[in-house]
């Protein structure tokens, strides 16, 4: 293959592009492609990490959450000018706005292969117990309308779970090219970074939640279940790892967090760089999310380390658990069911390592980034 073949990757934050696309970038470079990575939110350290992989980083302007159409149109033409300059054979965009506007720019630039990846349907498709806000309903309407324009000319539209193409494309009757829609499965991990470690069953049982502290990630259900469990088993430890999102109306507030810490309901170490260590020191991973995930990365990490999982029977999350084998699926918003499954592990501690072993096996089979990238390269016809 000629070394002059070029791929443009269009993402948002440099950190996400490095963390989630590192192995893919390396694979493309090994196959003789020059890789150009477009990022709209960045700092110099993350840019250097991407460049150290061998890719060229190009910054551009894009408001991830903004609804200003003039700003978005400006972004389209900025991206088009970059594509015109480097003339890639393939443009690969991921996350909602880059898929929409990056793909449109690629079409205007007459790129021969245009690929988009939808990594979960996100907040606009997330059902809240008290309904969605008007703004979120508007965002959903706009997204679907724009997908109707973009999807018909995409060569590949890649999803991470089986539910998303049904809920987005089939239910909204969005036209696509024949055989364009593909389901990749989880993005995967470099499993070396998440080594298996059996739970030390001489310790008290503990639970860990790893996610942004948002309602839709299940933080409130986790906290309410913790209160129920602690009434019966006061020595059980509940850990929370994740940051506050003070701009999100559904987020845990600083005052709420401080109060929880003061009552000793949870252990909260704040921002940490060594999440795998905290998972290794906890018995059971819990994610009661009802967010429209692709496939939650934190759950994959916990499974690779060898932890049983309690999560919700919703798209994305259900991809990680075989109920009763490596953990349990509970109905979304059902605090009592969640508490019951936590108590099961307290009263049957031998099941922690038994189910944890099953999680580990599943991670080796499904979450190995090397295997996932081979599949992704084949989907994108980058095989030789």
Averaged over 279-301, what is the pLDDT?
A: 95
Structure tokens at 305: 């380390």
Q: Look at residue 243 in the predicted model and tell me its pLDDT.
A: 85
In a domain? residue 269: yes
Provide, rounded to the nearest whole percent, the portion of the chain with pLDDT above 90: 74
CATH for 114: 3.40.50.2000
Could you tell me if 334 and 196 lie in one domain? yes
In a domain? residue 384: no
Q: Look at residue 2 in the predicted model and tell me its pLDDT.
A: 47
**Residues 320 and 299 sit within 8 Å (Cβ to Cβ):** yes
Averaged over 283-309, what is the pLDDT?
A: 96
Could you tell me if 311 and 343 lie in one domain? yes
Give tens-digit pLDDT for 340-358.
999 999 999 999 999 999 9
Give tens-digit pLDDT for 70-84.
889 999 999 999 999
In a domain? residue 91: yes
Instruction: Supply the DSSP string of 270-296, one letter for each residue.
Output: -S-S-HHHHHHT-SEEEE---S--SS-
Of the listed ranges 212-221, 262-271, 299-308, the least confidently predicted one is 262-271
In a domain? residue 109: yes
Given a cut of 90, whether residue 180 has pLDDT beyond it is yes
Could you tell me if 149 and 272 lie in one domain? no
- What length does the chain have? 384
**Residues 325 and 354 sit within 8 Å (Cβ to Cβ):** no
In a domain? residue 1: no
Could you tell me if 20 and 94 lie in one domain? yes
Structural domain for 162, as ranges:
6-188+368-379
**Residues 50 and 37 sit within 8 Å (Cβ to Cβ):** yes
Structure tokens at 201: 């069953």
Q: Look at residue 291 in the predicted model and tell me its pLDDT.
A: 93
Helix (H) / strand (E) containing 84: helix 69-86
Could you tell me if 195 and 184 lie in one domain? no
3-state class of 204 per DSSP?
coil
Give tens-digit pLDDT for 81-103.
999 999 999 999 998 999 999 99
Say how many domains are in the chain.
2
Averaged over 246-260, what is the pLDDT?
A: 79
Could you tell me if 26 and 86 lie in one domain? yes
In a domain? residue 93: yes
Q: 66 or 335, which is more confident? A: 335
pLDDT band for 246, please (50, 70, 90 cuts).
low
Given a cut of 90, whether residue 184 has pLDDT beyond it is yes
Could you tell me if 223 and 202 lie in one domain? yes
In a domain? residue 332: yes
Given a cut of 60, whether residue 3 has pLDDT beyond it is no
Could you tell me if 110 and 227 lie in one domain? no
Give tens-digit pLDDT for 118-174.
999 988 999 888 888 888 899 999 999 999 999 999 999 999 999 999 999 999 999
In a domain? residue 99: yes
pLDDT band for 384, please (50, 70, 90 cuts).
low
Averaged over 248-269, what is the pLDDT?
A: 84
Could you tell me if 183 and 205 lie in one domain? no
pLDDT band for 1, please (50, 70, 90 cuts).
very low
Q: Look at residue 272 in the predicted model and tell me its pLDDT.
A: 84
Closest CA to 36 of 1, 11, 63, 72: 11
- Cα(312)–Cα(64) distance, rounded to whole angstroms? 27
Q: Look at residue 383 in the predicted model and tell me its pLDDT.
A: 65
Averaged over 107-124, what is the pLDDT?
A: 94
Averaged over 173-183, what is the pLDDT?
A: 95
Cα three-residue angle 293-299-305, rounded to 5 degrees: 160
Given a cut of 60, whether residue 242 has pLDDT beyond it is yes
Query: Alpha carbon 339 to chain centroid distance?
Result: 25
Provide, rounded to the nearest whole percent, the portion of the chain with pLDDT above 70: 98
Could you tell me if 300 and 373 lie in one domain? no
Could you tell me if 14 and 60 lie in one domain? yes
What pTM did the predictor assign?
0.90
Q: Look at residue 296 in the predicted model and tell me its pLDDT.
A: 93
Q: What is the mean pLDDT of the chain?
A: 92
Q: Look at residue 37 in the predicted model and tell me its pLDDT.
A: 96
**Residues 184 and 372 sit within 8 Å (Cβ to Cβ):** yes
Could you tell me if 73 and 40 lie in one domain? yes
């Amino acid at each position: 293959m000629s070394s002059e073949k070029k791929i443009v990757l269009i993402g948002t934050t440099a950190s996400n592009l490095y963390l989630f696309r590192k192995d893919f970038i390396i694979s493309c470079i090994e196959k003789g492609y020059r890789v150009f990575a477009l990022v709209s939110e960045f700092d110099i350290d993350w840019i250097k990490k991407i460049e150290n992989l061998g890719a060229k980083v190009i910054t551009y302007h894009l408001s991830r959450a903004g609804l200003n159409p003039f700003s978005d149109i400006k972004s389209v033409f900025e991206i088009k000018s970059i594509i015109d300059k480097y003339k890639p054979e393939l443009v690969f965009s991921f996350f909602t706005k880059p898929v929409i506007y990056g793909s449109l720019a690629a079409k205007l630039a007459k790129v021969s292969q245009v690929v988009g990846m939808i990594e979960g349907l996100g907040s606009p498709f997330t059902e809240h117990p008290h309904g969605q806000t008007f703004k979120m309903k508007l965002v959903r309407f706009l997204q679907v309308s724009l997908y109707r324009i973009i999807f018909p000319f995409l060569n590949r539209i890649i999803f991470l779970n089986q539910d998303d193409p049904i809920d987005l494309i089939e239910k909204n009757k969005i036209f696509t090219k024949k055989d364009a829609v593909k389901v990749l499965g989880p993005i995967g991990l470099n499993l070396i970074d998440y080594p298996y470690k059996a739970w030390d069953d001489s310790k008290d049982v503990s639970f860990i939640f790893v996610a942004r502290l948002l309602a839709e990630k299940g933080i409130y259900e986790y906290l309410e279940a913790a209160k129920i469990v602690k009434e019966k088993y006061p020595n059980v430890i509940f850990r929370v790892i994740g940051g506050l999102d003070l701009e999100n109306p559904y987020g845990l507030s600083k005052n709420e967090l401080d109060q929880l810490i003061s009552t000793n309901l949870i252990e909260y170490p704040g921002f940490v760089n060594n999440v795998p260590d905290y998972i290794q020191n906890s018995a059971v991973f819990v994610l009661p999310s009802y967010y429209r995930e692709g496939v939650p990365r934190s759950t994959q990490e916990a499974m690779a380390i060898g932890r049983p999982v309690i999560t919700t029977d919703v798209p994305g999350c259900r991809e990680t658990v075989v109920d009763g084998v490596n953990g349990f699926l509970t109905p979304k918003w059902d605090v009592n069911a969640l508490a019951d499954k936590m108590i099961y592990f307290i009263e049957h501690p031998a099941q922690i390592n038994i189910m944890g072993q099953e999680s580990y096996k599943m991670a080796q089979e499904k979450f190995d980034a090397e295997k996932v990238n081979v599949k992704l390269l084949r989907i994108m016809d980058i095989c030789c």
